[in-house]
Structure 1
């Protein structure tokens, strides 16, 4: 089943500061879309706007052709949207097993995806390393069987091998997957993925990952880039 979620001319304000300046991004699915940008570019705000955890001051969020701008975050989640934020993505006071059990389904698939978690089931999630917490948070997303999966910096703190595995897992989901990253992960440079690059709250590039990689390779050494 196909699905898509998008921002249409979206504006977001934090007090007097406008973080998104009429941003339009489209994320088709099933498939992988990457929101690229340095800190302060607006990539995380765009992700949160899609999830409904920040309000738009202008524009719209459209999901499968329906305007969901006024639909609250919890209702979007009930309809099949899963957000994995960069921070506080797990319940630190619960064990790894208890975090996985919250999904309400057998969690063998999560342990197959990240075998490291098998040895950590009795540990409190808050005592895990940053990379281990990302594995746990993403495992819960895998178990959710969501239609739209939004992840802020999915591979943060992971080794290159585990990071590549993570993108393989996300790319294999039957869902519209949108990730926010500072740089285009090497594993995606030759993959069929959509890229939207943001700078200072505006989109400066939209296209395929391979096109973005070629464009970035042509930039002069030392030029400003988030690639």
Structure 2
């Protein structure tokens, strides 16, 4: 199971955000896209998910070219995107958000028991970390084949963040995370594929130990 960009270019009006990016995320396993704001990491996630169109290049999933497949069809085939913002339905309660997930409330609460007392509250009233838990609980319980998450632990307490990375690493799926820096929880000897992006291009690909040995490393 692999999800890949092949010489992908993405434009926002006259500005090109990805300049011929090629990367491959194997699965089951974790791939991390590293980069500061404006590096193109979030755009790469959206290109894989189909929420932004390619100006050139291709998206390949399990050997099939899905470039022209709309985002909702990729979702039907098992791809789940958790964006950095607007990842939950703010006007619905936590319980109603979870009811929209194929895995249901029980599976979501098993991932994040902290959500149980929040079930009656509207999702829009939750803190940033609580909203991330809710969004990820839905993704984790959806049994997706590919899970793409932008800034998965933003606003979370350290213990909850560590649990989040453990949950993502345990999935039997192709998991792609967009991060500003390599999280300590993912820098252990386990195999994690890394790509570092700068200004819309890939400047490094490899593993954590290799990245840490480079000047100006993001980790």
Equivalent position SS for 1:111: helix
TM-score normalised by the chain length of structure 1: 0.93
Is 1:184 aligned to 2:211, yes or no?
A: no
Tell me how far 1:93 sits from its aligned partner: 0.7
Equivalent position SS for 1:144: coil
Cross-structure match for 1:121: 119
Is 1:103 aligned to 2:101, yes or no?
A: yes
Cross-structure match for 1:137: 135
C-alpha distance in 1, partners of 2:94/2:176?
25
Corresponding residue pairs, total = 218
Kindly report structure 1 stretches of 4+ aligned residues shifted beyond 3 Å. none
Cross-structure match for 1:207: 206
Question: For 1:70-89, what aligned pairs fall within 5 Å after superposition?
Answer: 70-89=68-87
The farther-off stretch of 202-211 and 20-29 is 202-211
Tell me how far 1:109 sits from its aligned partner: 2.2
C-alpha distance in 1, partners of 2:17/2:103?
38
C-alpha distance in 1, partners of 2:136/2:78?
16
TM-score normalised by the chain length of structure 2: 0.97
C-alpha distance in 1, partners of 2:110/2:102?
17
C-alpha distance in 1, partners of 2:80/2:102?
15
Equivalent position SS for 1:107: helix
C-alpha distance in 1, partners of 2:66/2:193?
22
Cross-structure match for 1:226: 218
Structure 1 unaligned spans of 5+: none
C-alpha distance in 2, partners of 1:33/1:225?
17
C-alpha distance in 2, partners of 1:107/1:209?
35
C-alpha distance in 2, partners of 1:24/1:43?
12
Structure 2 unaligned spans of 5+: none
Cα distance per residue 1:50-95 (max 9 Å; x no partner): 0000011111000000000000001000111000000000000111
Cα distance per residue 1:170-223 (max 9 Å; x no partner): 00000000010000000111132100000000000001123223x25xx3xxxx
Indicate the RMSD between aligned Cα atoms, in angstroms.
1.1
Cross-structure match for 1:48: 46
C-alpha distance in 1, partners of 2:104/2:11?
41
